[in-house]
Structure formats: C-alpha cells, structure tokens
A and B are shown apart, each in its own frame.
Chain A
Amino acid sequence: MESKNLTVYGSERHSCVQGPCLTTEAFSLKMIMKGQKRKFPPEDVEVSDRSSSTWESQRQFVFSVSLNKYQHGQELPEPSLRRSVLIANTLRQINLQACRSVCVDGPIPPCSSLSALQENEQESRWNKVVPAKHHSAEGVINSDSALTTCPVDSSHHPSNSATTAISSILTALDSNIDWSPQAAQRMPLRSLENLQRPSEGNAAWAKQGVRGYGGSWEQQEECRARESNMDAMRSSYLSDLTVEDLFQDIDTSLLERDMGVLGLRGNGGGYSGGDDLPRYLLPFSPSSHPLSFSLNQNLKCLPSFSSFSPLSPSVSPSLSSPPSVFFSGQNQGLELEHLMEILVES
C-alpha cells in the first residue's frame, strides 16, 4: 500500500505521455512571462525531425526569444554572467543547426562532411558569437568556418527560408537596437580586458569583421577573402605588451567607435597590429616619420566597429566593397593627432 505511493512515478509517466503532443496546450498563466506576447506558439515536445517545418518554427521561436533575452539581460543593472553565457551558447547552437540543415539540403556534398566535422569540433573553436555587447545582433551568425564552408547561394535554394529569416530578423534588429551610451558603458571592464591583450583583441576584431555580414550568403566570396586576410594579419601580430600597461586606464571603446565613423577598415593584411593603439597614442617619437604616413599605416590595422554598429549606418552597406582606407590626406591625420593628444592628456 505504502509502496504504491512511493513508486517512482516516472514509470507511470511513460504511459501517460505517449503519442504526439504537437498541438499547443493551454498553458497556465503562471508559465507565461508577464506581458510578453508570443510570436510563435511553442510546441511542447521537441521535434527531432529536423527537416519538418515544426522544428523550423520551433527553432526560429527559440532564436528570437534568445535574442530578446540576451539583450534584456545586458540591460539589467546587474547582468548575470551565467545567464548571458547560457543564452549565448544556445544562440550559437541554433545557428549551427541552421547552417547544418541548410548544408544538408544543398547539392554540394562536401558540406555534409564539413558539417559533421563542425559537430565534432570543440566549442572553443567556434568564434565567439554573442557575448560582446556591441555585437549581440550581428554576432549571431557565428563561426566563419560555418559560413565559408557552406557556400550555398540563397538564390539556388528555395529551402533557404531559415537563413533568410535569420538575416531579416538581424537586419530588423540592427535598425531597432538602441545603442545608448549607457549600454556601452555598462561593462567598461570588457573593453579594458580586451585591451590588455591587444594581440588577441585585434584578432577578435578581425573575426568580427567577418561576422558583420548578417548572414547574407551572396557575400561568401568576400567573406573568404577577408578571412584569409585576417589570418595573415593575425599571424603577424606581435605580442609586445610593455606599452599597453601604461594605457590600461583608458577606455578606448569610444575611441574605436570614432575610428569607425571615420571609415577605417581593418584589412591591411600583414601589418603588425598587436600594439598599434598604444604606439599610436605615444608622444610622437622621431622614428615615426612622417607622422601622417605612420598614422595612416597604423590606423589601417584597426578594424572598424562601424560594420556592426548602427551608429554609422552609412558605412555598413559598403561591406561588400573591397577594403579601403577612407582616411587620407594630412589634414585628417592632424585632426586625429589632435584627438589622440586630448585623450592622452585626459
């Protein structure tokens, strides 16, 4: 008698929850987040069949919810790191599945083996997707490897609705995101931490340049070209850290945005960009001469944040054009000098 009550009810549960439960249930109000309207009715049971539209709609639903959550989390007075990391990982996971499902549909055989490879890869191999505060929307299209190894042209595939949906969501978010200065300053520690190891930091910026594509498949060629440039740049970074120690206190996040506005591109290729920024900020030594020319060179190496920041929307459409340095002429160089001097003095 007693033992009946104490039976692990799991065994009975199996007999209850059988059969397809794909219809949406009437959830109790307590389960629904306050005030949030549902875009897609969430299917209760995870559909394992990846090619079904139900799975697709589930995936898109989770994707949009995750994006919202991540942004809301960042805007909280006390963002929880664990929560942000978990949401970011979920987004990454969704995108990987999206890419894989597209690849599998495509006529190009190498894709499936590559997608299998991706599955076996360590997570650390995946390029960062979301955690950067600047790039929560654009960064969602992850790992350049995912993009470059699945060269599927959207025009050839009617079943590319997923990727086009993703890109449309991203572009919509792009214009809607409120990039108030507070959002940037909320975690100033992040930019400082990145600055402490500028070799890695610059590598990250370079990778982010790839991410800024927002999932458009047509730009695969530029993507691959840029990636190879990035690789060259990355390998040539020196890890001279002595100068950075002096500049740890300077929050350069605003500086970077300014650089972006001036239309700088990060694809110099082959430049030693490891400690460009501190070198640039130093009182000008006689060795760096002529000044504007060295500035030109150094500035070329600083990747632009404008490609993912709606602050300078005019710059982003030019992503597909070959990288160029807008910055030219001595006058602009002197202006920048002046700006740098002010920053250093402050």
Chain B
Amino acid sequence: MLSPIQVLCSDITTLSLEPEPFASYTEADIISTVEFNHTGELLATGDKGGRVVIFQREPESKTEPFSQGEYNVYSTFQSHEPEFDYLKSLEIEEKINKIRWLPQQNAAHFLLSTNDKTIKLWKVSERDKRPEGYNLKDEEGRIKDISTVTSLQVPVLMPMDLMVEVSPRRVFANAHTYHVNSISVNSDYETYMSADDLRINLWHLDITDRSFNIVDIKPANMEDLTEVITAAEFHPHHCNLFVYSSSKGTLRLCDMREAALCDKHSKLFEEPEDPSARSFFSEIISSVSDVKFSHSGRYLLTRDYLTAKVWDLNMESKPLETYQVHDYLRSKLCSLYENDCIFDKFECAWNGSDSVIMTGAYNNFFRMFDRNTKRDVTLEASRESSKPRAVLKPRRVCAAGGKRRKDDISVDSLDFTKKILHTAWHPTENIIAIAATNNLYIFQDKLNSEMH
C-alpha cells in the first residue's frame, strides 16, 4: 500500500516546481483549482484568467532515475473567456472555479471545467501520427498539378511530434442564476451535478440544453435567505447519493431515489454548537468551505474556517474526528473579519488510503493529519524552502507570548495574503499538489521516490 505516515512527515522531497520565476505576477495567474485525474498521471490547474494548464507525469525511465515522477506541462488552453451579462449589467468572471476529470474510457481524456455560470466539457487527445503521401496535395498542402500525377499511392500514417489537441465538446450554459461553486461527476459516468449558491442541477454529459434541478433552497422571499450552498459532491460508489454543505455548517446527504427534488435530506450532519465558545463570528467560522467523500465512501471530510472534520456517514450527531488547523487564529477573528480573511474558502483532501487528510492555511503553510496515529505536521510551500530534491522541514506556529523556539513563526507575523486554498492528493501515491497563489508546488514522499 502506501508509505507510512512517519516517513511522509519528516522526509518530503520536492519535485518539479513552478514555472519561470517572475518578479511579480498578474492576477490572472492566480491558481484557482487543482485536480489530479483518476490515475494520477495528469494534473490540471485552472487560474483566474480562465486558463487550464495540464501537467503530465513523466513515465519511469531506467536511464534517468530521478526524472521519474516529474510533472511537466502537457497542454495549456483557454477554457473560459470573460463575459458580460447584459440583462443584469454584470461581468461574469472567467475564473475557473472547479475542474473535474471524467474517468478515462478511451485514448482521450475528458475534463469538466466551470466558471461562475458555464460548465464546459473538454476533450484532450494526442496526435502523434499524421497521414502523408496524398495524391492531390503535396507535402505543404498545395494542390498538385494533375498533369504531374502519374501513379496513385495510398497515404500512410507517419509518426510526428506529439501534439496535444484540446477541443470543447459540450457547453452547459444558462442553468445557473447564482455562482457555481462545485461540480461533481457521478459514478455512473453519465451524469454530473453542478451546484451554485442556492440550487443544484443534474446534467447528462451528452445533453446540454437542459438539466434537472435536484436541490433548491431559494426561499420564496429572498429576504428570508439565511443559508447558502457552499459545496456538493456525489458519493464515489452510490450513484444515487450526494452530499451538500451549507454556510451554517450543516451537511445534507440526499438520495435521488426518494424524490425528484431532493430538498428534503436523508441525513443531516450537524454538530451542536458549544455555547461556551459562542462569539459574534461563530456562524461565519462554521461555514463549510469544502466537503469531500473518502475514497471508501464511508466518511466525509469537511473544512470550516478553523477546523477540518471527519464524519461517519452513519453518525449524524457529531463528527468522528475534529482537527484544529490553525486554532491560534481563534482570538484574532475580529481582525480577520475586518480584513475579509474570515471568508476565505480552504479546500481539503484525502490521501489514497483515507488515512491522512490535508488542508491549507496561511503563510503558505499546509497541514497534514494522520487519522491513525493522530500526528500532524505543518509544512511550508515556498521557493526558499523548496529547492528541488530538498526535504521539507516541519514548521511551527507559536502563539504570541509563548515559548518560542528557533524557526518558529509567531502568529502576528503570519502573512495572510499568502494562503493555500487549493490542494490535491494523488489518488494512489503520496504525491501532493499545492497551489500557492500563482505557483504550483508538487511534493512527493521521499520514500516513495526512492522505491522507484
């Protein structure tokens, strides 16, 4: 199976890193989503400028053992363009909110990418041969003079330099009044859902002109609105089950077999509030920013502002485990509310065996928690500490006024503009992708790389 966690914590090797170092970056380069495909061979990132960059893992090479496992750019394309909604006089951002890969069924790869309003299905295919030896055209494509043609030949396919072609196959538009925050492909490989702030729609991958609305929490009077949908995901194995999270910290598991409109949940996961910990910001920090099913389908991982929680699908009353991601911020909530950081939406990820969970924090820190040994580690994704092949050093944040060791960071010197919102874990191996603003970091377990 996978490498044990203790090795992962102390020996993290960095692999291929970010693109050319720029002195300053444009806002369009900020990475807004990261996603591995189902085999882990491809890694897609979307940015604020509407572009998608796909990285491919280099295959094992006997001659160059260290190049194995490096991710190199495979393809880049513009997925979404900025649009203007003339009816409401609003700009529609081209920022890619989510990318989800479809399971591979033939030689081509398919992915869904979405901005606030429109979901697109892209086909990524390779071309490494081309036909040569036409009768009517010469090598450059010019029409031949017929009188020079004396004999006929059959065109043959000759190898050529690998070319990656990306083409839009479907555009699923005009189904969302509010901003799309999640998409999730169903395990039936035929349907997928898209969730915005108030509604969730079910689509068939082949049908673009209509979708089914399966959840609608919009109140009759918008002024009664107190809760929005923040994330949604299909169950990895049961094609009828899905979960969606809300801004009030609740999770709802819905069964599509029960009714056409799944407003009524099958299960409601909610942790009762601790009255002693109540503050003005209790509700804001309880808002769930991401929800992920475990690979087994038995557990749910949720992220709210200060914690990551693991829920058992069979227990609705409280989470199975709660992990404090950056509890030192609890006393700073007022300032974080002022500077809007309290509204940041962090994502979370499971490892392949569901034994470790990972999520991002501020100051380019990210955290990993081992569910079995209850150990955790804080690591930093930054240029200075991430030279290729370097081993990442665990970091520590010390609350102000406390004992401070060397290399500890004080809470007050954390950089809140450097936030790691998007992380992804390889489906089977201990390889993680971390998006830090405009940079992508890929880390691999050292033991993992030595084994190959």
**A interface residues (Cβ-Cβ under 8 A, vs B):** 2-3, 5-10, 12-13, 15-17, 21, 25-28, 30-33, 36, 38, 42-46, 48, 58-59, 61-62, 65, 69, 77-78, 80-83, 85-86, 88-90, 93-94, 123-124, 128, 131-132, 185-190, 193-194, 197, 200-201, 203-204
Of the residues A2, A8, A32, A59, contact of B374 by C-beta under 8 Å:
A8
A32-B335, A46-B280, A62-B337 known; A85+B89 contact, CB < 8 A: no
Could you tell me if A204 and B284 are in contact, using CB atoms closer than 8 angstroms?
Answer: no
Q: Chain A contacts of B284 at CB under 8 A?
A: 86, 89-90
Contact (Cβ within 8 A) B375 A86: no
B24 within 8 A of A: no
Whole-angstrom CA separation of A201 from B337 in the bound complex: 33
Which chain B residues border A78 with CB–CB below 8 Å? 90-91, 93, 116, 179
* One of A12, A32, A94, A132 near B223 (C-beta < 8 A): A132
User: Are B221 and A204 touching (Cβ within 8 A)?
Assistant: yes
Q: Which interface residue of A6, A33, A43, A78 has the most chain B CB atoms within 10 A?
A: A6
- Given A42-B338, A85-B247, A5 and B90 contact (CB-CB distance below 8 Å): no
User: Would you give 19 A-B contacts (Cβ < 8 Å), ordered by A?
Assistant: A5-B396, A6-B377, A17-B331, A28-B412, A30-B416, A31-B336, A31-B339, A31-B416, A32-B339, A38-B338, A78-B91, A85-B228, A86-B283, A86-B343, A90-B280, A124-B224, A186-B88, A194-B221, A200-B220
Q: B296 near A: Cβ within 8 Å?
A: no
- The complex places the Cα of A122 from the Cα of B88 at a distance, in Å, of 34
Task: Knowing A6-B394, A78-B90, A86-B343 are in contact, say whether A17-B334 is a contact too (CB < 8 A).
Answer: no
B112 CB within 8 Å of chain A: no
CA gap between A36 and B338 in the complex, in Å: 9
In Å, the complex CA distance between A197 and B218 comes to 13
Complex Cα–Cα for A36 and B332 (A)? 17
Q: Interface residues of B, CB < 8 Å — how many? A: 66
Chain B neighbourhood of A83, CB < 8 A:
343
From the candidates B220, B339, B394, name the one contacting A33 in the complex (CB within 8 A).
B339
A67 to B65, CA, bound (A): 59
In the bound complex, CA of A193 to CA of B6 (Å): 56
Name the interface residues of B371-412: CB closer than 8 Å to any CB of A: 374-377, 394, 396-403, 412
Q: Check if A93 sits within 8 Å of B283, measured CB to CB.
A: yes
Contact of B197 among A26, A61, A81, A94 (CB under 8 A): A81
CB closest residue in chain B, given A16: B402
Q: B262 an interface residue at 8 Å Cβ cutoff?
A: no
CB nearest to A122 among chain B residues: B226
Specify the chain A residue showing the minimal Cβ separation from B404: A16
Q: Which residues of B contact A21 (CB under 8 A)?
A: 331, 401
Complex Cα distance A206/B168, Å?
50
User: When the two chains form their complex, are residues A42 and B339 in contact, meaning their CB atoms are under 8 A apart?
Assistant: no
Check if B399 sits within 8 Å of A8, measured CB to CB.
no
Known: A86-B247, A89-B283. A9 touches B397 (CB 8 A): yes
In the assembled complex, the CB of B26 is this many whole angstroms from the nearest CB of chain A, namely 19
Complex partner residue of A189 from B177, B339, B340, B401, CB under 8 angstroms: B177
- Min Cβ gap A50→B in Å is 11
Per CB-CB distance, the 10 closest pairs between chain A and chain B, nearest first, are A16-B402, A128-B223, A42-B334, A46-B279, A33-B339, A16-B399, A81-B197, A6-B375, A17-B399, A31-B335
